[in-house]
Amino acid sequence: MYADRNEAGKLLAVKLEKYSKTDAIILAIPRGGIPLGFIISEKLNLPLEAVLSKKIGHPLHKEYAIGAVTLKNSVLSDAAADISPLYINEEIKNIRSLLKKRYTYYYEDRKPLQLKGKILVIVDDGIATGNTMLSIIKMLHDEKPNKIVVAIPVASNDAIKKLQASTFVDEVICPLVPDYFQSVGQFYQDFDQVDDNEVKQLLKKAHKTSSG
């Protein structure tokens, strides 16, 4: 059990210390992963970026991911095989429109960092199924990084097994893998929602720090 995202971020920063003097980039998943990513980037003096992606939900069960979309590309899981291409294409279009608005709001006119040849440390506040994270990892792998590390404070057994089985993941850091997992929030005393304004402010602060 963690007090809040700050405590979880500090613990992950300790586990990630070996990357402090490397060309690693902290890639945090909005919105919940951003406060953790900010703490890690600050403590290890590494740049912070937001992973702007969103899952494609199953038409009958929106929480169940059948793929994911970024501004540049998209990926589908095996679960999308029987889903109408019309539905998928419409979802990709809608999600990408939302991500463009989010990008403009978060970054204004700043360009994202180049990921090729870098060590990518993907951070979130927890993982339930792992399906969305795996989709994100596949897309980040297309950027040709040197290494992909996934760092999360808590995850289900199933999610950890999926991540460890992925050929795209070089290292998984997860201090808490409970036997009974219902939701990420149950492992935090304070699990308040993170809003877009907080994300924007943390990204801006991290960019100022890393650029001097």
DSSP characters over the chain: -BSSHHHHHHHHHHHTGGGTTSSEEEEEPTTTHHHHHHHHHHHHT--EEE--EEEEEETTEEEEEEEEEESS-EEE-GGGTTS-HHHHHHHHHHHHHHHHHHHHHHHTTPPPPP-TTSEEEEE-S-BSSSHHHHHHHHHHHTT--SEEEEE-SBB-HHHHHHHHH-TT-SEEE-SB--SS-S-GGGGBS--PPPPHHHHHHHHHHHHHHHT-
Domain boundaries, the chain: 5-53+114-210
Position 144 confidence tier, pLDDT thresholds 50, 70, 90: very high
Q: Give residue 207's pLDDT.
A: 82
Q: Stretch 51-58: mean pLDDT, rounded?
A: 89
pLDDT, tens digit (0-9, with 9 covering 90-100), for 187-211: 999 999 999 899 999 998 888 776 5
Q: Can you read off the two tokens belonging to residue 10?
A: 């500090």
* The CATH fold of domain 5-53+114-210: Rossmann fold (3.40.50)
- Taking the model in full, what pTM does it have? 0.89
pLDDT, tens digit (0-9, with 9 covering 90-100), for 92-113: 999 999 999 998 999 887 888 8
Q: Give residue 21's pLDDT.
A: 87
Pick the more confident residue, 12 or 130. Answer: 12
What percent of the chain stands above pLDDT 70? 98
